[in-house]
Structure 1
Amino acid sequence: MTTIVLGATDQAVVSELRRALNEVPDADIAGIGESTPEVSALAMRLQAEVVILHDALGPESAPDVVRDIVSRTPATAVLVVNSSGDVASALATMEAGAKGVISWPMLHEDIVSKVTAAAEWSGRMGSLLSGATVDTERELGRHGRVTAFTGAKGGVGTTTVATHLALDLKRRVPGTKVCIVDLDLQAGDVAGILEARQRVSIADVAKVAEDLSPATVLDALVEHESGVSLLLAPPQVADSEFVTPTSVRAILGMLRREFDAIIVDGGAHVTPAQAAAVEIADEAIVLVTPDVLAMRAFRRAVTDWEGLGVRTEADLRVLVNRVSRDDVLNVDAIAKLTSAPLVSTSLPAMFRRLERGVNARNPEEVRESVWWDALEKIGAEIGVVTAAQPPAAVGSEPGRRRSAARPARSARGGRRNRDKQGGQAAVETVAVMPLVLVIVLLVWQLGLTAFTFTWADHASNVAARTYSMGASDAEVREAARDAAPSGWGSRVDVSIAGGTVTVSTQVPLLCLRCGALPASISQSTKVVQEP
Structure 2
Amino acid sequence: MTEKIRVLIADDSAATRENIRKLMEFHSEMMVAGLAADAAEAIAKAKELRPDIILMDINMPGMDGIVATEIITTEAPQTSIIIMSVQGEQEYLRRAMIAGAKDYLIKPFTGDELVQAVKQVYNNAQRRHNVLKFEPKTVEPGKIITVFSTKGGIGKTTIATNLAVALAARTGAKVGIVDADLQFGDVALFLNVLPQATIADLVRDGDELDEKLLDSYLASYSEQVKVLAAPLRPEQAETVTAGHLAAILRTMKNSFKYIIVDTAPSFSDTMLTVLDASDLVLVVSAMDLPTIKNVKLCLEIMESLGYTDDKFKLVLNRANAECGMDVREVEESLRYAFVATLPSDGKTVVASVNRGVPFVVSHPDTAVSQSIFHLARIIASGDWKAEPEPRGVIHKIKRLFG
Q: Pick the TM interval, shorter chain.
A: 0.5 to 0.7
Asked whether the 8 Å contact 2:263–2:271 carries over to 1, the reply is: yes
Count of residue correspondences: 265
Is the contact between residue 149 and residue 267 of structure 1 (CA under 8 Å) also seen in structure 2?
no
Match of 1:337 in 2: 333
Show the counterpart of 1:81: none
Q: Which has the higher helix share?
A: 1
Residue 157 of structure 1 corresponds to: 155
Q: Deviations over 1:409-447 (max 9, x none)?
A: 879xxxxxxxxxxxxxxxxxxxxxxxxxxxxxxxxxxxx
Q: CA deviation at 1:313?
A: 7.2
Spell out the pairing of 1:26-425 with structure 2 (5 A cutoff).
68=136, 72=138, 139-140=139-140, 143-173=141-171, 175-207=172-204, 211-225=208-222, 227-305=224-302, 309=305, 311=307, 315-343=311-339, 345-363=340-358, 364-381=361-378, 383=379, 385-387=380-382, 389=383, 394-395=385-386, 398-399=387-388, 402-407=390-395
Change (3 A) 1:280 1:408: closer
CA distance in 1 between partners of 2:363 and 2:295 (Å) = 28
1:340 shift after superposition: 4.1
Structure 1: give runs of 5+ residues left out of the alignment: 1-63, 73-138, 412-531
AA aligned to 1:405 is V
**Distance in 1, Cα, partners of 2:189 & 2:325:** 31
Whether the aligned pair in 2 keeps the contact of 1:171 and 1:406 (CA below 8 Å) is: no
CA deviations over 1:318-356 (Å, ceiling 9, x no partner): 10011122232321112112244421x300000112111
Indicate the percent of aligned positions where both proteins have the same amino acid.
Answer: 23
Preserved CA contact (<8 Å) 2:170 2:396: no
Normalised by the length of structure 1, the TM-score is: 0.46
Output one character per residue of 1:263-292: Cα deviation in whole Å (capped at 9) or x when no partner: 011132332222111111110011110111
Moved over 4 A (4+): 303-307, 408-411
Q: Deviations over 1:53-107 (max 9, x none)?
A: xxxxxxxxxxx89x73xx63xxxxxxxxxxxxxxxxxxxxxxxxxxxxxxxxxxx
Root mean square deviation of aligned Cα? 2.7
Work out the CA distance in 2 between the residues paired with 1:282 and 1:249: 13
Amino acid at match of 1:190: V
When Rg is computed on C-alpha atoms for both structures, the one with the higher figure is 1
CA 1:354–1:376: 2 relative to 1, 3 Å: same
Tell me: higher relative CO, structure 1 or 2? Use CA pairs within 8 A at least 6 residues apart. Answer: 2
User: What CA distance in whole angstroms lies between the structure 1 residues aligned with 2:377 and 2:234?
Assistant: 35
CA distance in 1, matches of 2:229, 2:147: 15
Answer yes or no: is the 8 Å Cα contact 1:203–1:234 preserved in 2.
yes
Shift of 1:226: 6.3
* Counterpart AA for 1:317: K
Note the alpha carbon deviations across 1:221-252, whole angstroms, 9 max, x for none.
00114641000100111111122221111100
* SS of corresponding position for 1:252: helix
- The answer for the alignment partner of 1:126 in structure 2 is none
Does the Cα contact within 8 Å between 2:169 and 2:397 map onto a contact in 1?
A: no
TM-score by length of 2: 0.60
1:264 aligned counterpart, secondary structure = strand
* Matched AA of 1:156: I
Inter-partner Cα distance in structure 1 for 2:268 and 2:374 = 30
